[in-house]
Structure 1
Amino acid sequence: MAAQLTTGAESARGIGTVVLGLAACVVAALTVGAVALPERQDLGGGMFHDRLGPADAVPGLRTPLALAWRLHRGELAGRVAGFALVGFALGSTAESLGEMMNNSTPAAREVLARIGGPRRAADAWNSSWPRRSTGCGGQKAT
């Protein structure tokens, strides 16, 4: 049994030596390449030649504001569409909120009566959604 353990340890040591030698060869090859690369490096060059463009910009890019508009108009359109969708969803929810509470449990009807009816419940819902969506739940600044 002891002879088998010794043989296994010796073969593992042999494999470790091979892996270590292979890693040393890879490190040496990468080091030689890194030393030789700056001599052959073409600073300022690229795969393609420079193409000269027009001397003047198109009217849509002549000012920084025009460039900013061109770069951000897609994002602005997406945000406007998102806010419109959120507004539609919250408005639809507010219209049916009072009815849902009135048709719900007696505790919900009691809360609805304390608020002042279905219309006041919709107003409270609409006025509280900016605080819920921004995380500014009415905390006081210290």
Structure 2
Amino acid sequence: MRYLTKLLLAGSLLAGVPAFAVTEITYWMWDQNQPPAYQACADAFEKQNPDIKIKITQTGWVDYWNALNAAFVSGTAPDVITDHLARYPEFVQNDLLVDLTPLIARDKVPTDIYFGGLTKVWGKDGKQYGLPKDWDTIAIVYNKSML
């Protein structure tokens, strides 16, 4: 009986403990068209990594930057963000981004898969603060007949 009591006591202590701890990664973005594709990627990743859950939050452009700045100030910033080259220098200057260089090296992330110098624009002083998720073309279009 004493053994059964100890066994039940030990079992009750473990009742509230999950079999494994789940890590949640928060990812914020502003583009309202991208969450379905990103969620599909997150779902595939979670299937291969059941101990990791990804929470994607999409907010409109203006609200995104306001919420992100507030999160940085309050210490509640997401784990991963979609950044913009117009905002990136301010975040680096204020030491708000993590140097990914050692993680890229450790995990052997192939940075040569990106076109030209796209990776370099997210680095400064030998530190890599981001990797490109996509890129766009900014162009000047004109009507020759108006020249």
Q: TM-score, normalised by structure 2?
A: 0.20
Greater helix proportion: 1
Name the larger-Rg structure: 1
Q: TM-score, normalised by structure 1?
A: 0.20
Q: Which is bigger in relative contact order (C-alpha 8 A, separation at least 6)?
A: 2
